[in-house]
Structure 1
Amino acid sequence: GAAAQALPAIGAVSRQAPLELSFAQQRLWFLAQLDKDSARYHVPLGWRLRGRLDRAAWRRSLDQLYARHEALRSVFVDAEEGPRV
């Protein structure tokens, strides 16, 4: 078998300043700039709910989802030095 390679640990990144975009994010940013009115990368979704919606439980669920997945809280800004997260 192949010898296992030791990979470097994934360290925390400071959130004190805007982050640079990953290569994949840079590609999407570039494509979005070519066609600013495009919804090409938007994925519409609709749900049909039956019965009574417990709004407090729904809010807690969304809050937990957003807390767990940083990508859902990320926005891209066009800074002087280039796009940033």
Structure 2
Amino acid sequence: MPPLVPTRRDQPVPLTFAQQQTDLFFDDLLNAGHWNIPMAVRVSGELHLDCLRRAMDLLIDRHEALRTTFVREADGYVQAIRPSAPVQVEVAEAHDETEASVLA
């Protein structure tokens, strides 16, 4: 077996075999926006917002899959792995003074 070597990340990456098998669904899914699923979380008690932001930034920086998008080119789709960027976290106060909603 050949040794594993890092792939260049400064250009689009070919789809994996498993991703190629789902190629027929990409047009529908990408156009419908099903790949972008925002969420809200209700938090009780004290929220350390700086710690939450830092943890999310580290998670996204470590896992390329969380930064990967699919781009259509002339020959089909490719993976485009985006550089890490700080997570935008919004806090909205809830009706109860001890609870807040965190939107990521």
Q: How high is the TM-score relative to the length of structure 1? A: 0.70
Q: In the aligned structure 2, how far is the partner of 1:77 from the partner of 1:22?
A: 14
Q: Partner residue of 2:49? A: 55
Higher strand share: 2
Q: 1:69 maps to what in 2? A: 63
Look up the match of 2:32. Answer: 37
Gap change, CA 1:42 and 1:29, over 3 Å in 2: farther
1:16 aligns with: 10
Structure 1 residue runs of 5 or longer lacking an equivalent are: 1-6
How far 1:18 sits from its partner (Å)?
A: 0.5
Q: Which residue of 1 aligns with 2:88?
A: none
Backbone CA RMSD of aligned residues: 2.5
Identical counterparts, % of pairs = 32
Structure 1 pair 79–63 and aligned structure 2 pair: CA distance change class (3 A): same
Q: Kindly provide the amino acid, as one letter, of the partner of residue 75 in structure 1.
A: T
> Residue 66 of structure 1 contacts residue 73 of structure 1 at CA under 8 Å; is this kept in 2?
yes
- Listed as ranges, the gaps of 5+ residues in structure 2 are 80-104
After TM superposition, the score normalised by the length of structure 2 is: 0.59
Partner SS, residue 4 of structure 2:
coil
Give the counterpart letter for 2:32 in structure 1.
D
The count of residues paired between Structure 1 and Structure 2 equals 78
SS at structure 1 position matched to 2:42: coil
Displacement of 1:16? 2.6
